[in-house]
Amino acid sequence: MSAVIVSGKDLAVEKRAFIKEKVSELHMEKSIQPCLAVILVGQDPASQSYVRAKQKACEEAGIKSILEEYPSSITQEELLNRITHFNDDASVHGILVQLPLPDHIDELAVIEHISPNKDVDGFHPVNIGRMMIDQKSFLPCTPYGIVEMIKSLDVSISGKHVVVIGRSNIVGKPVGQLLLKEDATVTYCHSRTKDLASITKQADILIAAVGRAKIIGPEYVKDGAIVIDVGVNRLETGKLCGDVDFESVKEKASFITPVPGGVGPMTITMLLHNTLQSAQNQASENKTFSS
């Protein structure tokens, strides 16, 4: 048996075409063009690459993007002032501050300063809290994308045992919560988990979000499991790989995501989705969902 490779790239093309159609409809019917404002601090090459990918995706979907770049010497107060400006600008529907930020800036303070109604990354505590109690909110993009990928397989999530390896606020914790909402039974594993393989081998759906190259081999995987690899690691050769040893695990899994080309494209796709949703919220009578 060899697993079916789940292409996030192909699914992203399909979903972005739908988003583009809805963006066009909103512009024609309500004269509203969804707009994403991105703030980039410093010269981190990875951050610059991510931002370029997001801008390109916005352009292709018909979403206006604004990019403001600042040196790493910017003060926290100056950064918060720019966020306030975008919070107050009705033509801006989403605000994204590219992480990581320089050490002298409090990332949580920056995230909390973004209006929950424009927090299209889904990181604001208001959005995370509302997600936890099943109220309307912006969902974190990577976990949201993972759930959409699993749903695309036409496999029922209800009743499945999901094991999440990793407990980060950005991926691990929220993806487990979203799958719990889909009636899965969810187990979290992490660096302090004893006898990890004995737990992961129970998983119908295994989600690896550790950040360590090829740490998950076939001995961690149940026959026929769905394996979602969130990790992006760079080997000494410069080649990208995930947390899962793809070549060996694909012989045990029923479905597996590659790295690159798996979860990554869906993360940006759900960012576009959230930005569109924010613009649609503005166009509707129920303009906000923050307290």
Catalytic residue among 98, 177, 277, 282: 98
Residue 224 shares a structural domain with residue 172 = yes
Catalytic residue among 15, 118, 119, 121: 121
Residue 152 shares a structural domain with residue 256 = yes
Q: Is the pTM of this model over 0.85?
A: yes
Residuewise pLDDT in 10s, the chain (291 residues): 689 999 999 999 999 999 999 999 999 999 999 999 999 999 999 899 999 999 999 999 999 999 999 999 999 999 999 999 999 999 999 999 999 999 999 999 999 999 999 999 999 999 999 999 999 999 999 999 999 999 999 999 999 999 999 999 999 999 999 999 999 999 999 999 999 999 999 999 999 999 999 999 999 999 999 999 999 999 989 899 999 999 999 999 999 999 999 999 999 999 999 999 999 999 985 444 443
Q: pLDDT digits over 248-261, tens only?
A: 999 999 999 999 99
Q: What is the CATH number of the domain that holds 190?
A: 3.40.50.720
Q: What is the CATH number of the domain that holds 106?
A: 3.40.50.10860
What is the number of domains present in the chain? 2
Angle separating helix axes 8-30 and 45-61, nearest 10 degrees: 50
Catalytic residue among 15, 54, 173, 252: 54
Residue 51 shares a structural domain with residue 145 = no
Residue 54 annotated as catalytic = yes
- Tokens coding 187: 């187990």
Residue 112 shares a structural domain with residue 149 = no
Residue 164 shares a structural domain with residue 110 = no
Residue 71 shares a structural domain with residue 161 = no
Residue 72 shares a structural domain with residue 155 = no
Residue 96 shares a structural domain with residue 176 = no
User: What is the span of the domain harbouring residue 37?
Assistant: 30-116
Residue 163 shares a structural domain with residue 229 = yes
Residue 119 annotated as catalytic = no
Residue 121 annotated as catalytic = yes
167 is in an annotated binding site: yes
Q: pLDDT digits over 115-154, tens only?
A: 999 999 999 999 999 999 999 999 999 999 999 999 999 9
